[in-house]
Amino acid sequence: MKRLGIITLLTIFSLSGAMAQMIKVDQKVFGMDCAPCAYGLERGLKKMDGLESVKVSLNDGKAYLTLAATNELTLQKIQEEVKNNGFSARNAEVTLKGELQKERNVWKVKVNGEIFIVSADTSGDLLTKLKPGKIWIKGFVKDEEDGELTGIWEIRIIEVLKS
Amino acid sequence: MKRTAFLILLTITAISKVSAQGHGPLYGLQTPTLAKGGFDFNAAAMSLATEDDQSFMLRYIWSYGVTEDLQINITTPTMINRLSEAPRTRGNNNMPANGDIEASVWYRFFSNAFGVGKRFESTAILSVSTPTEETRSGINVSNSIHGAISTGYASRTWYAWVGGGYQYYFEEGNDQLGDLPYASLVVGYRPNIFMGDYPKPDWRVFVESLAEFPGANTSEGQLTPVDQRGEKVMLGPSFLGLYGAWGISFGALFPVYQDITQGPTEEYRLSMNISYWL
């Protein structure tokens, strides 16, 4: 019986761990002008664990990342890899799932140790629909200085995919 | 025979897994540095023709990105034909034209990526060289140091770099090769037809110009033949093709102005680089 309880708890923990994660990231990249730049960035990103696919577009100035079903990737790691390649990581469009919490009148989603704070410029319609609990959202993460990443991001939600 | 050997080696170079020195111009100073932890291998074939003779040389460069802004390089030559009276020049933006073995550090001290594919940046270069021959143009040749600085703009369509450098040879056995101040200006353009997105091939064309002001040599403690500085302005096209981890560039420079105090006049310079980003 005890064993069954432990297994149940472990299952709940592993499910909740898998619950909070990023699903898709379209990372804007400034300063990338040539094929070897794109090649280098793509190769660098592919070395990271937790990715299903990576596509880099020079003309869009973006890296399109689809993350694995279970991953521990953070936006900070992705942006640091962009910086290591000599470019500047700017804003990103992300799809993520996690637990939405309200603290001191501010909505937050915690994902793999990072905090996504829902920005005030999220549309009023969407803000009124938010409620604590599991949520699946799409939004624009605002640009932070490349050398000063803290894992705390401001996100403007553009769509609530599931709540 | 030498020319045949040169062409064979050029072909071997072209089909081996090697890389050129960067993704910018061929002769002029540029700014890009490797990614942090990135390796790059370049092979170049170079030729310099004077009114009397023509040199042929293969050159290799191994580069490593210590950080995204700091790159170390070492380049070694395979001389096929040396000139008895070699003009003092830099062969490529990251390579000596003569038989020197050179180690260099590139530091990109300023970078501002301000748009999709757009950036301004500035890079400083410091090199130390040691010769592979005892004399050059009858003068004992010694170790040398080289410093350069360049700044430029890159975008998906236009490129421009301007830079200047200085090479100084130390005294050897009472002889000393003259110094070499130089400046370069490069403008590049990628036509619309080559604007296909990665991983499609990426081509661009450059117009490169180089101004060199070689100082007079010192032989047995005496400036020879006169204490004057030569002047030379070279101009020519170069082409750069990139595909994935590969790059190929080739180009030529022709003199548009020459007022030299020592040695024969130049007719042209040819160069081809193959790059592979490891």
Give the SS3 label for residue A82: helix
pTM: 0.85
Of B35, B113, B275, the CB nearest to A40: B35
What does the pLDDT look like over A106-129, one tens digit per residue?
A: 999 999 999 999 999 999 999 998
Q: What does the pLDDT read at residue B23?
A: 65
Phi, psi of B262 (to 5 degrees): -135, 145
Beta-strand pair A152-162/A114-118? parallel
Is pLDDT above 70 for B11? no
Residue B41 neighbours by CB distance under 10 Å: 19
Count of pairs with CB atoms under 8 A, one residue in A, one in B: 99
Residue with the two structure tokens 């450098």? B165
Q: What does the pLDDT read at residue B214?
A: 92
- Predicted confidence band at B13 (pLDDT cuts at 50, 70, 90)? very low
What does the pLDDT look like over B37-59, one tens digit per residue?
A: 999 999 999 999 999 999 999 99
**Residue B61 bridge partners (DSSP):** B42, B75
> Chain B residues within 8 A (CB-CB) of chain A?
23, 32-38, 67-69, 108, 111, 113-119, 154-156, 195, 197-202, 242-245, 247, 275, 277
Percent of chain B with pLDDT over 90: 66
Question: CB distance from A39 to chain B under 8 Å?
Answer: yes
**Cα–Cα dist B126/B149, whole Å:** 9
Phi, psi of B111 (to 5 degrees): -150, 130
Closest listed residue to residue A163, CA positions, set A103, A99, A106, A117: A99
> CB–CB of B131/B76 below 8 Å?
no
Helical ranges in chain A per DSSP H: 2-19, 35-46, 75-84, 124-129
Give the SS3 label for residue A22: strand
Give the dihedral sign, CA A40/A45/A48/A51: negative
Question: How large is the average pLDDT for residues B183-189?
Answer: 96
Question: How large is the average pLDDT for residues B123-151?
Answer: 94
Please give the DSSP secondary-structure letter assigned to residue A140.
E
**Residue B50 bridge partners (DSSP):** B266
Of B92-101, B122-131, B163-172, give the lowest mean pLDDT range. B92-101
Residue with the two structure tokens 């080559």? B194
**Does the interface ipTM go beyond 0.90?**
no
CA distance B14 to chain A (A): 18
3-state helix, strand, coil in chain A (%, to 5): 30, 45, 25
Q: What does the pLDDT read at residue A162?
A: 84
Tens place of pLDDT per residue across chain A (163 aa):
555 555 554 444 444 445 789 999 999 999 998 888 899 899 999 999 999 999 999 999 999 999 999 999 999 999 999 999 999 999 999 999 999 999 998 999 999 999 999 999 999 999 998 999 999 999 999 998 888 889 999 999 999 998 7
- Predicted confidence band at B244 (pLDDT cuts at 50, 70, 90)? confident
Contacts of B114 in chain A (CB under 8 A): 30-31
Helical ranges in chain B per DSSP H: 2-15
Contacts of B243 in chain A (CB under 8 A): 35
Is pLDDT above 80 for B179? yes
**Cα–Cα dist B157/A136, whole Å:** 39
Alpha carbon A96 to its chain centroid, in Å, reads 6
- Predicted confidence band at B9 (pLDDT cuts at 50, 70, 90)? very low
CA distance B13 to chain A (A): 20
B117 vs A32: CB contact, 8 Å cut-off? yes
In the numeric block, which tokens belong to residue B99? 């038989």
Question: How large is the average pLDDT for residues B29-36?
Answer: 91
Of B37, B119, B244, the CB nearest to A31: B119
Q: Which residues lie closer than 8 Å to A150 by C-beta, 6 or more apart?
A: A76, A144
**Cα–Cα dist A94/A27, whole Å:** 8
B38 vs A56: CB contact, 8 Å cut-off? no
Which stretches of chain B are assigned E, i.e. beta strand?
39-50, 54-67, 70-81, 90-92, 95-96, 101-115, 118-130, 135-136, 139-140, 144-154, 158-169, 180-189, 202-212, 217-219, 222-224, 231-243, 246-259, 266-277
Q: What does the pLDDT read at residue B14?
A: 37
DSSP conformation letters of B205-261 = EEEEEEEE-PPPEEETTEEES-S---EEEEEEEEEEEEETTEEEEEEEEEEEEEE-S
Give the relative orientation of helices A75-84 and A35-46 as an angle to the nearest 10 degrees. 140
> CB–CB of A125/A87 below 8 Å?
no
Average pLDDT, chain B: 87
Residue A83 neighbours by CB distance under 10 Å: 18
Q: Which residues lie closer than 8 Å to A31 by C-beta, 6 or more apart?
A: A86, A87, A88, B111, B113, B114, B115, B117, B118, B119, B154
Contacts of A84 in chain B (CB under 8 A): 35-37, 67-68
B32 vs A40: CB contact, 8 Å cut-off? no
